[in-house]
Amino acid sequence: MKIEILGVGCPKCKQLIANVESAVKELNIQAEIGKVTDIDKITGYGVMMTPGLVINGQVVSSGKVLNKDEIKAIISGGECEKNNSGSCGCCCN
């Protein structure tokens, strides 16, 4: 699994990185976690508000710091924007 955090290093971006690392650790999964700070690459994903979260090449959140549980739900296939239910509290709202 490849996880990318999009942002230029603001406190919200740093918090999202910490939350992602914590979620991955709790789920006990192997993941390559990277940071994308280049504005052109960030906008290339269609993200206009940071922080952004990309999992396996798909933007799953932008403009919000997801908490650890929201990230765990997305990673483990829980509800997220894919079904537009809004119940996960991530970018669906």
Catalytic annotation, residues = 10, 13
DSSP H helices, 28-89, are: 39-44, 68-75
Cβ(90)–Cβ(70) under 8 Å? Answer: yes
Q: Which two tokens stand for residue 49?
A: 């508000």
Name the β-bridge partners of 62.
52
